[in-house]
Structure 1
Amino acid sequence: MPNYVVLHGQPQSPNNYLLLPSCRITGIECPFIVTPNVANYWHEAWETGRPGGDVPVRFRDIGLGINSRAARRFQQLHIHMAGVQGSTQRRLQDLEAAGRVALQPSQWGDAQYQALVTGKPGSGDRTYRILRLDTLTQNLFELLDVNVVRRFGLDMAGQTLIVVPKRTAAGYTGTFYALNSDSSLHSGTDTCDHLLIYT
């Protein structure tokens, strides 16, 4: 039996879905999500929303995201499965080529791996901490908690987390960009809505 359900997001479109745990988890601040017993909801969201998945996102570039406590509407953890601009994908690859993307979780919060990323039109440039992951097998919530939140004395409830699967001309590569931001960063944000495209 799946440990999650998938619902339409609002507004309903072929590239706007939500993955929700089937158990009660309030949100990104819930202590349970950083424990070893929690399901890997990010992996489930990618496997469900990717091309060929059970509920594929009908958009050329795909993104996954979770909002901070202040930015969400529902008191139940949910991962957005939506689109991202092609320019966002290219920007992340350019940053990686320039050495501006952390390759180890312990580096995630370092200043040299914080960069401006432009999302959908009208959203402006926002600063994100950027980490490249070779797989989604690790608990992203725990990685964020250990390497950013506790390291810098931040509040988990104030974090947003976005995953952008890396795609080249040959298709998705199996690697991922994990972007984190909050209001402690200059031009930071506590919502994934600047990057994700729902309509």
Structure 2
Amino acid sequence: MTEHKKTNEVPRRQFIALSGAIGAATLLTGAGVKGSTARTDDPGPGYGEDSCTCPTPPTSPPGAGQSPCPPTQLQGLCGKPTDNDALWHDVQYCTQGIVPPAPQPKPNCLKTTSNYVVLHGNPETQHNYLLLPSCRITGIECPFLVTSGVANYWNDAWENARSGGSVPVQFPNIGLGINSTSARRYNQLHIHMAGVRAGVQRRLQELQSMSRVATHPAQWAANQELITSADGAGDRTYRILLLPNLTQNLFALLDQYVVRPNGLSMAGQMMIVVPKMSATGFAGSFYVLNSDSSLPSGTNTCDRLLVYR
């Protein structure tokens, strides 16, 4: 499930400048599967006009966000509708009916909304899915993701992956994850909806019982703990935050409380959301894990904890 394509990171100063510049609502205009083949993680030429034209979104519930696309000014950082990316082709097929270029087959669109589409991951199992914006957004490095106008893709992923959701992840414990630019293979934002081993869930609850999990975003960067990788690669270091819900913009929290204070780059970050579980089911809160290569034994991929096969 590890991706191999490497992408240049966005310079930190440029990211911060653009993040501030597009924070005003006046700039947030615009219209957010089985993949072409079963995909390991995240999935050529793109189609459409140079400006993003997304469907008009329906009224969203509290915390679900809206669905404008990144403004034209950010296409150099967030992608253009004419880009060549297999996952972006799949999104365009699901949302606009544009057939992917040969030899890429048509995807199996498991769910399509004005904000996102859901595809199968690779390998194709009942605990391996991808949620992708219907807007052109390359990945975690896109500055638009930290603004107030972006859709809440993390909450959307949870509402689909949870028991009773539209595309439920059939595994005892669920994990939602996103990779850094260097760890991903495809360049259309996608959140993995997959399984998490029971040992990861136990470790997180153990750390919480010892008051070693941050309960406020301001504490997030300081709470660094080792968790054993599900792929047998040994212990890795993660920053761990406990949240009561997913109504906040997790990308913005990461940028504000971890990335900028420590002189890091959003492009180098990975994130995993693990719903806390009890013997009777969902326990009503979420562990949010983050790591990068700046940490001792850090990692830039979510694949070390998620279970796809």
User: Does the TM-score normalized on the shorter chain lie above 0.5?
Assistant: yes
Aligned to 1:125: 235
* Corresponding residue to 1:32 among 125, 139, 144: 144
Aligned to 1:158: 268
**Residues 138 and 188 of structure 2 are in contact (CA less than 8 Å); yes or no, is this contact kept in structure 1?**
yes
**Residues 3 and 39 of structure 1 are in contact (CA less than 8 Å); yes or no, is this contact kept in structure 2?**
yes
1:75 is matched by which residue type in structure 2? N
Aligned to 2:204: 92
Please show how residues 1-150 of structure 1 align to structure 2 within 5 Å.
Answer: 1-110=113-222, 113-150=223-260
**Residues 120 and 130 of structure 2 are in contact (CA less than 8 Å); yes or no, is this contact kept in structure 1?**
yes
Asked whether 1:192 is paired with 2:277, we answer no
Q: Distance in 2 between matches of 1:187 and 1:127?
A: 5
**Residues 84 and 119 of structure 1 are in contact (CA less than 8 Å); yes or no, is this contact kept in structure 2?**
no
Q: Distance in 1 between matches of 2:258 and 2:208?
A: 19
Q: Distance in 2 between matches of 1:19 and 1:174?
A: 22
**Per-residue deviation, 1:121:** 4.3
TM-score (norm 1): 0.97
1:14 is matched by which residue type in structure 2? Q
2:297 is matched by which residue type in structure 1? S
Superposed CA RMSD in Å reads 0.7
Identity of aligned residues (%): 66
Q: Distance in 2 between matches of 1:167 and 1:82?
A: 15
Of the two structures, which has the highest relative contact order with CA contacts closer than 8 Å and spacing of 6 or more?
Answer: 1
Q: Deviations over 1:56-75 (max 9, x none)?
A: 00101000000000001111
**Residues 103 and 132 of structure 1 are in contact (CA less than 8 Å); yes or no, is this contact kept in structure 2?**
yes
Q: Distance in 2 between matches of 1:121 and 1:18?
A: 20
Q: Deviations over 1:2-22 (max 9, x none)?
A: 300000001111100000000
Q: Number of residues paired by the alignment?
A: 197
Q: Distance in 1 between matches of 2:249 and 2:183?
A: 22
- Please give the secondary structure, in 2, of the residue aligned with 1:6: strand
1:23 is matched by which residue type in structure 2? C
Q: Which has the larger radius of gyration?
A: 2
2:274 is matched by which residue type in structure 1? V
**Per-residue deviation, 1:123:** 2.5
Q: Distance in 2 between matches of 1:2 and 1:122?
A: 39
